[in-house]
Amino acid sequence: MTEETTRADAAPADPPIDAQHPSTSPVKTHSPWPALWALVIGFFMILVDTTIVSVANPAIKADLDPGTPNLDNVVWVTSAYLLAYAVPLLITGRLGDRFGPKNIYLTGLAVFTLASLACGLSPTLGTLIAFRAVQGLGAAMMTPQTMAVITRTFPPNQRGAAMGLWGATSGVAMLVGPLAGGLLVDGFGWEWIFFVNIPVGIVGFVLAWMLVPKLETHPHRFDIVGVFLSAIGLFLIVFGLQEGETYDWGVIWGPITVWGLIIAGVVVMGLFIWQQFRTKSEPLVPMELFRDRNFSVANIGIATVGFSVTSMSLPMMFFFQLGRGLSPTESALLLVPMAIAAGVLSPLAGRWLDRTDPRVLLVPGLLLVAGALVLYSVLMNVDTPVWAFLIPSFIMGVGNAGMWGPLATTATRNLGPRQAGAGAGIYNTTRTIGSVLGSAAIAVFMQGRLEANLPGASDAGEGFGEGTLPAVVAEPFSTAMAQSILLSAAVLVVGVVAVLFLRRPKPVAGDWTAAKRAD
């Protein structure tokens, strides 16, 4: 453990796990696995919801935004969710420490499930975007609690296996999400991609209420100024990137320009970081966590992963459904090898990580995913046999197994009980910020590539709807999508460079035995 972690855990305000309430300690008498399985249901639902929406985007656009040539309007269905997801994560991690991970998780699950019902009933694109934002708030309450429970209930030498389950959940969601989305969109309509969350949410709520233990809470002061600054800064940056093409990177209203918003957002985020360093009591982002090199590097790595995974899905699905005329179900079936490979290999990678240097898994994992994206770009044309897309799908699945779980384990391995919520919140915020920026950037990049390959596309009288595009349009459209997906690959290369600076963690069984002695 780092020296900072040791000092934090030894502070009088932070007694060891359940030291004051030994009778309720899940560490002493109960296996942590049932609780993790219960929490994974909610985490699974969040991931499925994201992948389902990527498959349904063309159908949503055709129904709620027909005749509009721009693609960035429907992108807000994803961006609004991710923006509302990213901003509160820092404080929801602390809320879990303060009021208990179980309580905050259950509250978030209820919000997410009810918002899913409202999304399915939305009559307009604007209404759908608004309720997707509410879904994001619910997801923000749930996600940090899963990682915090792993950190607080699993011994460090078993966290890799626990995070392997977390990674396997991502792999299974990659399969279930697109397949369920394709079947539901084809059979019942896009609304049912949200209605399906309701029974899953109810089952997940009951199981979490029964199986997740009540862990000791820690008093926290909440940095309201930090929350405000981070929210404003992030919103200005993402809104500017998302809407830049719509306003031709010029004036939005009065003296306000797109670049003015982006620059203002960067300035506000700089002010937020300065304020965090100056806050001595309890900053929203405890900067001492970043003295741990592995925590810092893992956050850079997960930001690139979030960016790439989010940004790649939009051009891929638009190519499959518009460039090649595949149905949502057929498009989803092309992702089956990726999901199976990730689901099978992730638990194995997690167990291996407990005994090896994280770079052994992360470097090849990230390189495989980046290479698969380049291969997709090469194959994305109207003449490629459809079966050929199964090859990069499988390669990407293998890479995913060495990417998600190992990054999360490396980031949280040295966190003490008091830091679990804050660390999980920072990690998930970083991932989601990467996703938000990826969603915004790919909209801009796709529109730019469309203009380059289809001059005048933004001024066309008809938009891109459902069904196969005419041959004269399908070829340049496919080229634009193939060029767009290279952005995802390029950002992952940055992640590869970052993880090269990781250190092999030192044995940390001591912090586990210390907690046992305290009990």
Per-residue pLDDT tens, the chain, 519 aa: give them. Answer: 343 333 334 333 333 333 333 333 334 446 788 888 888 888 888 878 876 787 787 788 888 877 665 666 777 887 788 778 877 877 887 787 788 888 999 999 999 999 999 999 998 888 999 999 999 999 989 988 887 787 777 777 777 777 777 667 766 776 677 777 778 888 888 899 899 899 989 999 999 998 888 877 766 677 788 888 988 887 888 778 766 766 777 887 778 888 899 899 999 999 998 998 888 777 877 888 888 888 999 999 999 998 998 889 889 988 998 888 888 778 878 888 988 888 788 878 877 877 788 899 999 999 999 999 999 999 999 999 999 999 999 999 999 888 887 888 888 777 766 676 677 778 877 887 788 788 778 888 888 888 888 876 555 434 455 556 777 788 899 999 999 999 999 999 999 999 999 987 665 444 433 333 333
Please give the C-alpha separations between residue 179 and each of 268, 306, 491, in angstroms, as whole numbers: 41, 21, 27
Q: Residues 419-454: pLDDT tens digits?
A: 766 777 788 778 877 887 887 788 888 888 888 888
Query: Which residue, 485, 488, 304, is CA-closest to 378?
Result: 485
* The pLDDT of residue 67: 63
Token readout for 337 is: 């090898």
Write down how long the chain is. Answer: 519
Name the CATH superfamily for 285-457+467-506: MFS general substrate transporter like domains (1.20.1250.20)
Query: Which residue, 331, 315, 325, is CA-closest to 466?
Result: 325
* The pLDDT of residue 152: 77
Question: Exposure string (b/e) for 42-75, b if CB count within 10 Å is 16 or more?
Answer: bbbbbbbbbbbbbbbbbbbbbbbbeebbbbbbbb
Judge whether 39 and 165 are in contact, CB under 8 Å: no
Residue extents of the structural domains in the chain: 31-222, 224-277, 285-457+467-506
Please give the C-alpha separations between residue 311 and each of 54, 357, 488, in angstroms, as whole numbers: 10, 29, 6
Amino acid sitting at position 102:
K
The pTM of this model reads 0.74
Q: Do domains 31-222 and 285-457+467-506 have the same CATH topology?
A: yes
Query: Which residue, 374, 367, 383, is CA-closest to 482?
Result: 374
Query: If you ran DSSP here, which 8-state letter would residue 507 be given?
Result: P
* The pLDDT of residue 72: 61
| CA separation for the pair 367, 349 (Å, rounded) | 16
* The pLDDT of residue 19: 36
* Residue pointed to by tokens 């779980």: 405
Q: Is the dihedral of CA 136, 345, 335, 407 positive or negative?
A: positive
- For the CA atoms of 229, 232, 233, 236, the dihedral, rounded to the nearest 10 degrees, stands at -170
Which CATH class for the 31-222 domain? mainly alpha
* The pLDDT of residue 464: 53
Q: Who contacts 155 (Cβ-Cβ below 8 Å, separation ≥6)?
A: 509, 512
